Amino acid sequence: MVGAIGFNGILGFGVLLAILFGLGDMDAALASPTGYPIIEIFFWMTRQNAAATTARTSTLVFSSAIAALGLIASSSRTVWSAARDGVFPFSHHLAKLSIRHDNLPVWSITASTLIMALLGLLNIASTAAFTAIISLAVVALQISYLMPVAAILCLRLRASKEEIVWGPWKLRSWVGCAANVVSVCYTTLTIAILLLPPARPVTGGNMNYAGLVLGVVLVGSTVGWLASGRHHYKGPWVNSDCVAAAE
């Protein structure tokens, strides 16, 4: 995993440098008639060659399509795991495994795919709402990174080396602490930036509603937990006898 992240990080940095050097007029790129500044940048970088621009843009579309498969695979397993614990409505169905499909969570995969498709259609109805949901997803992802890193940092600072049970791979104490501090600071900064409006002056059209949606989700989750969740949630099902019945 570390090798894959390092390799892709180097490639991504190289692509970023190429795009920045070929950026050209940023205002003109933002005002692109296509609605996508990256297409305009490719058009300049290829010396206004429409065929080369189309080919370069197609690589982004293809990469996004391939990435969507990984997103569906990971999100559907998350939905299945949460449904197995009775978190969602219709959890009984979402937690089922299909014997005909090698014990895959078909119901969870179907639900995740439909939700992703509906979110894509939302962009047609309201760009502001779609942007808010996308920003919220990134913010939520950053928060999910921040919580375990902050917890392990507190554990490093408060507990002794003998009290911490490490896995097969870990960094040295001072290196790990430094990495945790940098991660916490960077993640906190990116969360704050992602919640800011993209432009000034702030209007109803360019307002970043991710903070509002995040607040609604947190309040709704808290109320749902206090009103219902805490009364029937028994923790993760780790016993094989508790796994949802396959169909």
Q: Quick check: 85 and 74 in contact, CB under 8 A?
A: no
Q: Where are the alpha helices (DSSP H) in 31-168?
A: 37-45, 50-84, 91-94, 106-125, 127-158
Per-residue pLDDT at 26 exceeds 60 = yes
pLDDT of residue 245: 46
**Listed range (15-24, 36-45, 223-232, 236-245) with the worst mean pLDDT:** 236-245
Every domain of the chain and the residues it spans? 126-235
Per-residue pLDDT at 243 exceeds 70 = no
Q: Quick check: 150 and 183 in contact, CB under 8 A?
A: no
Per-residue pLDDT at 239 exceeds 80 = no
Rounded-to-integer distance, Cα 217 and Cα 197, Å:
19
Per-residue pLDDT at 182 exceeds 90 = yes
Rounded-to-integer distance, Cα 120 and Cα 122, Å:
5
Rg (CA), the chain: 22
Can you tell me the mean pLDDT for 198-209?
Answer: 75
Judged on CB neighbours under 10 Å (0-12, 13-18, 19+), 38 is middle
Judged on CB neighbours under 10 Å (0-12, 13-18, 19+), 52 is middle
- pLDDT, tens only, 49-85: 889 989 989 988 998 888 888 888 888 998 998 888 7
Can you tell me the mean pLDDT for 165-182?
Answer: 83
Q: What is the mean pLDDT of the chain?
A: 83
Can you tell me the mean pLDDT for 194-202?
Answer: 79
pLDDT of residue 217: 84
pLDDT of residue 54: 92
pLDDT of residue 7: 93
Which secondary-structure segment (H or E) carries 177?
A: helix 173-194
Place 241 in a pLDDT band, splitting at 50, 70 and 90. very low
Rounded to whole angstroms, what are the CA distances from 5 to 8, 62, 181?
A: 5, 20, 20
Packing angle between helix 37-45 and helix 2-21, nearest 10 degrees?
A: 70
pLDDT of residue 55: 93
Lookup result for tokens 């409505």: 89
pLDDT of residue 240: 44
**Listed range (28-32, 164-168, 219-223) with the worst mean pLDDT:** 164-168
Can you tell me the mean pLDDT for 82-93?
Answer: 81
Per-residue pLDDT at 238 exceeds 60 = no
Place 235 in a pLDDT band, splitting at 50, 70 and 90. low
pLDDT of residue 126: 76
Per-residue pLDDT at 16 exceeds 60 = yes
Rounded-to-integer distance, Cα 106 and Cα 98, Å:
6
Can you tell me the mean pLDDT for 153-177?
Answer: 80
Q: Quick check: 159 and 179 in contact, CB under 8 A?
A: no
Rounded-to-integer distance, Cα 187 and Cα 46, Å:
36
Place 244 in a pLDDT band, splitting at 50, 70 and 90. very low
Q: Quick check: 40 and 29 in contact, CB under 8 A?
A: yes
pTM recorded for the entire structure: 0.66
